[in-house]
Structure 1
């Protein structure tokens, strides 16, 4: 099998396996092995490619950054610093119209960032922030829409597991990806903050009670702020300007997270538990990365990748980019962002390079779409997760979707900005060199 026939067979087989509930990593592995054997007719060649993929793809030090970043987030989440920052922000902004929504946005964003997943962040912190919003608002749908949008916002902030995985699969420097995502993420944060502030009239904060959540001492709040900022800055700046490798920067970030946790009284048993949790969570991701790298080999050997690249390139840059975005949106309705990336990276990145699309711009667009897709109606997972997490099953789900539209509009506007004028938002990594 070569060319378009191989591409059709590979994609159909993948779709069938996933539709029957096979995990994406397993489906990628099965189809890749079968495709390589079908193209070469030799199990010896199959074993050689498997060994080469494992050696070349998984021996790089960047691979260790994934469990280290997850460990950093685990320490931050368990230390209670996110709760401290939320409580302090909520009390500070309690007299401002829309202040409770801004505080919830900050809290849920940081929770999703620490958890390494927008869904996990929404589950872990929604009840805390929703409780404060409901004390000040009669509008449950607005509150839930704000919380769901904030959870998606947290996953746009570098560094993230999605960006590290993108780096491994596409052979791009992770530090450059962090810097490329920094400016667009800040633009989205500011725009969404303005949107939340402007929609403050929807939340009855003018009659908010003068009291608020339990007060946190200023030194504790400042320690929390400085700790999170330092951990993030070390990873982004250290790897972005290439003072440190990504693994070294992630190691320092994890050490800062551990210091925060210990300063908050985390005991050795809890530290060990956090390490085990991070290890268990990162193992499936590493397996997915290996399967995706093997999948790229299968596409190359069978000619399916070249056939797909030619077909996509024939559409032109604008239409091809629209197809990529549409495919990502469809995939994330049934899969998580990492799985969607694993299925498409080996196809989209070479095609984009052929069309002259900047690889960093494609990364930014991809991250914005993949992390924003769980908000898209009618199947937006974040909306359903947030509603279930706070036990508000009686709130009509489409009312909540109506209140995530501002976030979706901001994300789409940013995608268009990057697509039309990529240098506006990706100048930072090129400036650093």
Structure 2
């Protein structure tokens, strides 16, 4: 144990390291080692901490779920499935007022699910959908507002990389987390569709694509492939026929078959694997550093003190404080770094406050996604605008069109807080 002053210095050191540009994983590791040494005065204890964290990390099969989900998404993205699905949906819904907007919103959300990160979705798929959506709506700010908002929603669609990381950091089973997100995701999708159609109906709609209607062969194959991935993963986990690792493996195989169907060659497969390796390695390193940081908090006793302090605020104020901290940190840090910094303390505090762990995980992920839409720092809005060359679109106008979707996500936070059974009944039924 170390005194309050020493613990405060450690946290201050963490803040200074991050402010100076150090990677979160490095900062967490340094503070974890130093805190353990100050608490024990024994470098052997520090070495044991490193060995224990490495052992605990390597023996978790769930750790492999993250790179497998990312590889599945990479294969599906390289197959062109989402683009084909958007074009087919646009033609199929061309007779519906706001049909192109609905097609773009659905496709953008699926792309965020495939990409595993809403920011990359806002950057990548916005370039593809924006010209057609702007033409259909005759309103550039509305088009970018729809795309930025649907990218935020996409991270909620299970199986979500963010939920998988949360599960590893909070030591929660990943399968129930995926199932817990299913009902809120469906409800949110329906509300998003209502807003999209009602907003687009007030605008002049223009047919997107060529004069043909209906799905192309590629569009049909893409829809079947994506639906099969979702059914196999969620159905396999829900029926307990597959573990999350096995489900992610099957999903990766389906993604590979989709890519091979569209002509993907060996060189491209190797390139995709290497790309996922480069992207997933920092995430796995961050989880490893967070485990060291978590053990240091336990050894020093500071983690217990922080948890008790948050829980001592009471249900309403405690939860509001945690959400507020997430929103503030989102201005300067990415979602995974915020989770690594806070989940170790907040998850036990939520249990003490009487909040169901599954519902709290969803509240955390939704809050982190919502933060990316809040003006004036909404990262997804800036990312979507930067992805297109349209100087005539003003940021305040984009934020104005984001507000209805932001209201839905904030409302979802309140509903999950009041009625956690929305998130918990399905995993409790399955597990």
Q: CA deviation at 1:370?
A: 1.1
Residue in structure 2 matched with residue 184 of structure 1 by the alignment = 184
Q: Secondary structure at the match of 1:374?
A: coil
Residue in structure 2 matched with residue 155 of structure 1 by the alignment = 155
- Indicate how the Cα distance of structure 1 residues 9 and 139 shifts in structure 2: closer, same or farther if over 3 A, else same: same
Q: CA deviation at 1:425?
A: 3.2
Q: CA deviation at 1:96?
A: 1.7
Q: CA deviation at 1:8?
A: 2.2
1:279 aligns with 2:239: no
Q: CA deviation at 1:392?
A: 2.3
Measured against aligned partners, the alpha-carbon deviations of 1:51-102 in whole angstroms (never above 9, x if no partner) come to 0011012321111111111000000000011011100111111222211111
- Indicate how the Cα distance of structure 1 residues 305 and 141 shifts in structure 2: closer, same or farther if over 3 A, else same: same
Asked if structure 2 preserves the Cα contact closer than 8 Å seen for 1:139 and 1:202, the reply is no
Residue in structure 1 matched with residue 113 of structure 2 by the alignment = 113
Alpha-carbon distance in 2 for matches of 1:67, 1:216: 35
Residue in structure 2 matched with residue 36 of structure 1 by the alignment = 36
Q: CA deviation at 1:404?
A: 0.7
- Indicate how the Cα distance of structure 1 residues 259 and 367 shifts in structure 2: closer, same or farther if over 3 A, else same: same
Residue in structure 2 matched with residue 20 of structure 1 by the alignment = 20
1:421 aligns with 2:419: yes
Q: CA deviation at 1:202?
A: 4.2
Asked if structure 1 preserves the Cα contact closer than 8 Å seen for 2:109 and 2:150, the reply is yes
Alpha-carbon distance in 1 for matches of 2:148, 2:210: 22
Asked if structure 2 preserves the Cα contact closer than 8 Å seen for 1:58 and 1:290, the reply is no
Q: CA deviation at 1:213?
A: 8.2
Q: Secondary structure at the match of 1:356?
A: coil
Q: 1:301 aligns with which of 296, 299, 320?
A: 299
Alpha-carbon distance in 1 for matches of 2:274, 2:212: 32
Asked if structure 2 preserves the Cα contact closer than 8 Å seen for 1:375 and 1:404, the reply is yes
Residue in structure 2 matched with residue 199 of structure 1 by the alignment = 199
TM-score, structure 1 length as denominator?
A: 0.96
Q: CA deviation at 1:424?
A: 2.8
Measured against aligned partners, the alpha-carbon deviations of 1:148-185 in whole angstroms (never above 9, x if no partner) come to 01111111101111111111111111000000111111
Asked if structure 2 preserves the Cα contact closer than 8 Å seen for 1:4 and 1:308, the reply is no
TM-score, structure 2 length as denominator?
A: 0.97
Q: CA deviation at 1:7?
A: 4.1
1:345 aligns with 2:337: no
Asked if structure 1 preserves the Cα contact closer than 8 Å seen for 2:184 and 2:422, the reply is no
412-421 or 127-136: which moved more? 127-136
Alpha-carbon distance in 2 for matches of 1:94, 1:330: 41
User: Across the two proteins, how many residue pairs are aligned to each other?
Assistant: 431
Asked if structure 2 preserves the Cα contact closer than 8 Å seen for 1:79 and 1:264, the reply is yes
Measured against aligned partners, the alpha-carbon deviations of 1:320-346 in whole angstroms (never above 9, x if no partner) come to 111111111111111111111110011
Measured against aligned partners, the alpha-carbon deviations of 1:109-128 in whole angstroms (never above 9, x if no partner) come to 11111111111111111121
Asked if structure 2 preserves the Cα contact closer than 8 Å seen for 1:142 and 1:203, the reply is no
Alpha-carbon distance in 1 for matches of 2:34, 2:286: 17
Q: What is the aligned-residue RMSD (CA, Å)?
A: 1.6
- Indicate how the Cα distance of structure 1 residues 393 and 39 shifts in structure 2: closer, same or farther if over 3 A, else same: farther
Residue in structure 2 matched with residue 51 of structure 1 by the alignment = 51
Measured against aligned partners, the alpha-carbon deviations of 1:274-302 in whole angstroms (never above 9, x if no partner) come to 11111111000000000001110011011
- Indicate how the Cα distance of structure 1 residues 7 and 239 shifts in structure 2: closer, same or farther if over 3 A, else same: farther
- Indicate how the Cα distance of structure 1 residues 250 and 89 shifts in structure 2: closer, same or farther if over 3 A, else same: same
Which runs of no fewer than 5 residues in structure 2 stay unpaired? none
Alpha-carbon distance in 1 for matches of 2:207, 2:367: 38
Residue in structure 1 matched with residue 407 of structure 2 by the alignment = 409
